[in-house]
Amino acid sequence: MRLALAQLNPVVGDLAGNAAGILEACRRAQDQGASLVLTPELSLWGYPPRDLLLLPARLQEQQRALDRLTRQLARECPGLGVLVGLAEPSGDAQLPNLHNAIALVQDGQWRVVARKQLLPSYDVFDERRYFRPATAPAVLELPWEGRSLRLGLTICEDLWVEEELLGQRLAGPDPVAALGGQGIDLLVNLSASPFGQGKLALRQQLAAQAARRLHCPVVYVNQVGGNDELVFDGASFVVDGSGAVVARMPCCAEALQLWPLAAGEAAPAARSLPPPQPLEQLLLALVLGVRDYARKCGFQRALLGLSGGIDSALVAVIAAAALGADQLLALLMPSPWSSEGSIHDAEALAQRLGLATHTVPISALMGGFDAALSPALGQPPEGLTAENLQSRIRGTLLMAMANQQGRLLLSTGNKSELAVGYCTLYGDMNGGLAVIGDLYKTTVFRLCSWLDNPDSRSCRNALGLPAEGELIGAAIRLKPPSAELQPNQRDSDSLPDYTLLDPVLKALVERRHSPEQLAAEGTDPQLAQRVMALLQRAEFKRRQAAPVLKVSSQAFGSGWRMPIAAV
Q: How many CB atoms lie within 10 A of CB 128?
A: 12
Catalytic residue among 26, 88, 127, 156: 156
In sequence order, what are the beta bridge partners of 148?
A: 143
Strand ranges, E, within 18-80: 36-38
Catalytic residue chosen out of the listed positions 88, 116, 229, 251: 116
Question: Which residue type, as a one-letter code, is found at position 430?
Answer: N
Q: Quick one: which H or E segment has residue 316?
A: helix 310-323
Rounded CA gap, 150 and 167, in Å?
31
156 among known catalytic residues: yes
Paired residues of 88 in beta bridges: 99
Going by C-alpha positions, the residue among 529, 537, 525, 528 that lies closest to residue 562 is 537
Is 7:250 a contact under the CB 8 Å cutoff?
A: yes
Q: Are 204 and 235 in contact (CB under 8 A)?
A: no
Number of helical H runs and strand E runs in the chain:
18, 19
d(CA 120, CA 125) in angstroms, rounded, equals: 6
Torsion sign over Cα 267, 270, 271, 273: positive
- Residues with Cβ within 8 Å of residue 78, at least 6 apart in sequence: 107
Strand order in the sheet with 109-115: 109-115, 98-106, 81-89, 36-38, 2-7, 255-260
d(CA 331, CA 341): 16
DSSP string, 224-270: EEEETTEEEEB--EEE-TTS-EEEE--BSS-EEEEEE-STTPPP-GG
- Residues 547, 429 contacting (CB under 8 angstroms): no
Nearest to 191 by CA among 156, 142, 240, 163: 156
Provide the CA 392 distance to its chain's centre, in angstroms: 29
**Catalytic (active site) residue 77:** no
Instruction: Report CA Rg, the chain.
Output: 26
The residues that are catalytic are 41, 116, 156
